[in-house]
A = this chain, B = another copy of it.
Amino acid sequence: MKLAIQVNEGPYQHQASDSAYHFTKAALEKGHEVFRVFFYHDGVLNSTRLTTPPQDDRHIVNRWTELAEQHDLDLVVCVAAAQRRGIVDDGEAERNGKDATNIAPKFRISGLGQLVEAAIQSDRLVVFGD
């Protein structure tokens, strides 16, 4: 089965991002295709490389990046939600005159159309939120 995953909440504050990660991992391990993971609302905050969680806790951002590296996952961050919440890549930094970027490896910023397209192309859309 081909899956689209939507993540609506940021890391640590809500368990939604944890659930989405474990679900995505389990689906990949079962051989399903994950067409795209789309980060929306505060979900975009999963994509900042500036996090430094305590040593004895999970690193939610790195976990997504590593899963994407292993499975060539498409991790898409909604541009409108990212602008409101300060998630920036090189393109956004230039467009909006920002002096730094914070996006983590394997994440890309793109439009909401990517969510709609993922829902059309996939057999199932699974939403994780608060």
Check if B100 sits within 8 Å of A10, measured CB to CB: no
A49 on interface, CB distance cutoff 8 Å: yes
Q: Is the CB of B52 within 8 A of A83?
A: yes
Q: Flag whether A110 is at the interface (Cβ < 8 A).
A: no
User: Which secondary structure characterizes the binding site on chain A?
Assistant: loop
Q: How many copies does the complex hold?
A: 2
Interface size class of A (residues with CB under 8 A): 20 to 34
Contact string against B for A residues 36-65, beta-carbon threshold 8 Å, 1 for contact and 0 otherwise: 000001100100111111100100010000
For A48, the closest partner residue in chain B by CB is B86
22 contacts between A and B (CB under 8 A): A11-B84, A11-B85, A12-B84, A12-B85, A13-B41, A13-B42, A45-B85, A50-B87, A50-B88, A50-B100, A51-B83, A51-B84, A52-B84, A52-B86, A52-B98, A53-B83, A53-B84, A54-B80, A86-B102, A100-B100, A100-B101, A102-B102
